[in-house]
């Protein structure tokens, strides 16, 4: 296989797994982390080697370069994969903005509308012409299983991608498909961001399993044991409200159970059957605390963002709002007030037609 240069931005579970897997496939990977989070990459700074286990390559992967220098990282490749929690999206955008050119394509993996936040940051910094994209879920079910080790338990068979501007979709798909075969596309980044799976599943699932999580400190299988028929009822109501937002903006978003199946997580069926029939998901343990990333990320940067988009266009989301209210008590801050809103996305005040033009062209009227 002929490799290409790729910059992977981030130092967490999936960033390590992607950097290692792509390296073993023959690609020239630069791994970049912000200086303030350098501890996450310190274990591999000297020998630049991640030991990969699991189903997407095995063995020591020697990364071409490991750096905390944004300019150096972005000079290494015209393709940058941003693989960090949503609450770090803006910090990376601000760090990278001075060094991005129209030749660059930045892909958020996943995005949950973070590509729109990046677009606003870059616009304010006077950087135009950069192609932005996001995918609807992480490419792997994986974890760091050691300071310099990552394990991949499952590979998403069909990542969904949206591009800003949407006119660049075919080009970016052709660029990513050799790295993540089977990439499918959404009409634009808004449709992709509204199709994220984790915000649909995690907050409702964690809240309804709160007692068990706290008592056991996460010592149970979240999807296999925690996503019970009653929990599924609530998740499906969240999903219906998400799809209503999509309908109002002109998208026919697929149901969460179909999204799980199409991504290769589990067999076709209702949500309970798909989740419980998944060899990948049934290996995932619950978080050790209720106040975890499934809440602190998926509430303010998932459900809260969707709710604010819905509010701008007059769409009611009562179940989503109820979960935001309850979840905000648990995480200790107002997810709606402190999360990513329409102003952060740079779409506040846009009517539906203005939004459509912006998503297609990347140009604000």
Query: Is 181 strand, coil or helix?
Result: coil
Fold that domain 5-193 belongs to in CATH: Rossmann fold (3.40.50)
Interatomic CA distance for residues 175 and 332, integer angstroms: 41
Of the chain, the percentage scoring pLDDT greater than 90 comes to 89
Contacts of residue 78, Cβ cutoff 8 Å, sequence gap at least 6: 5, 103, 104, 105
Q: Which CATH architecture has domain 198-346?
A: Orthogonal Bundle (1.10)
Token duo for residue 219: 């010592």
Residue 275 pLDDT: 85
List, for residues 242-271, the tens digit of each pLDDT value: 999 999 999 999 999 998 888 788 889 889
Q: 55 burial class (0-12, 13-18, 19+ CB within 10 angstroms)? A: middle
Look at residue 360 and tell me whether its pLDDT is greater than 70: yes
Which residue intervals of the chain bear CATH 3.40.50.720?
5-193
pLDDT digits (tens, 9 = 90+) for 273-289: 888 888 778 888 999 99
pLDDT of residue 279: 79
What are the start and end residues of each CATH 1.10.1040.10 domain in the chain?
198-346
- Indicate the DSSP class of residue 227: S
pLDDT digits (tens, 9 = 90+) for 316-334: 999 999 999 999 999 999 9
C-alpha–C-alpha distance, residues 113 and 135, integer Å: 9
CA distance 365 to 357: 8
Q: Which pair of structure tokens corresponds to residue 131? A: 């192609």
- Residue 91 pLDDT more than 60? yes
- Determine whether 52 is exposed, middle or buried from the number of CB atoms within 10 Å of its CB (0-12, 13-18, 19+): buried
- Backbone torsion region of residue 279, taken as left when φ is above 0, otherwise alpha when ψ lies between -120 and 50, otherwise beta: alpha
If we measure between CA atoms, which residue out of 187, 193, 180 comes closest to residue 119? 193
């Amino acid at each position: 296989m002929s490799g290409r240069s790729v910059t992977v931005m981030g130092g967490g579970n999936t960033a390590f797994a992607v950097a290692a897997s792509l390296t073993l496939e023959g690609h020239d990977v630069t791994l970049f982390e912000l200086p303030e989070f350098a501890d996450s990459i310190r274990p591999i700074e000297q020998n630049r080697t991640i030991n990969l286990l699991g189903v997407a390559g095995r063995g020591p992967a020697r990364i071409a370069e490991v750096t905390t220098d944004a300019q150096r990282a972005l000079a290494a490749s015209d393709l940058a994969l941003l693989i960090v929690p949503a609450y770090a999206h803006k910090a990376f955008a601000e760090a990278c903005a001075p060094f991005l050119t129209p030749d660059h394509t930045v892909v958020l993996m996943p995005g949950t509308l973070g590509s729109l936040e990046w677009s606003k940051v870059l616009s304010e910094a006077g950087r135009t012409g950069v192609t932005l994209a996001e995918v609807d879920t992480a490419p792997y079910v994986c974890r760091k299983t050691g300071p310099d080790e990552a394990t991949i338990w499952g590979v998403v068979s069909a990542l969904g991608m949206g591009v800003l501007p949407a006119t660049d979709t075919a080009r970016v798909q052709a660029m990513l498909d050799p790295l993540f075969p089977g990439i499918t596309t959404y009409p634009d980044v808004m449709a992709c961001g509204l199709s994220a799976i984790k915000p649909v599943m995690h907050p409702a699932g964690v809240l309804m399993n709160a007692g068990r999580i706290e008592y056991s400190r996460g010592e149970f299988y979240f999807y296999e044991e925690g996503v019970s028929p009653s929990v599924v009822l609530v998740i499906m109501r969240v999903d219906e409200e998400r799809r209503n937002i999509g309908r109002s903006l002109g998208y026919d978003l697929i149901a969460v159970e179909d999204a799980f199946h199409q991504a290769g997580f589990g067999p076709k069926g209702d949500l309970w059957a798909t989740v419980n029939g998944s060899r990948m998901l049934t290996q995932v343990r619950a978080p050790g605390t209720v106040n975890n990333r499934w809440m602190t990320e998926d509430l303010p940067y998932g459900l809260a963002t969707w709710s604010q988009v819905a509010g701008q266009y007059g769409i009611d989301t009562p179940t989503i709002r109820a979960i935001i209210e309850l979840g905000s008590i648990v995480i200790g801050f107002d997810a709606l007030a402190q999360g990513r809103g329409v102003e952060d996305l740079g779409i506040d005040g846009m009517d539906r037609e203005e939004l459509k033009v912006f998503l297609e062209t990347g140009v604000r009227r």
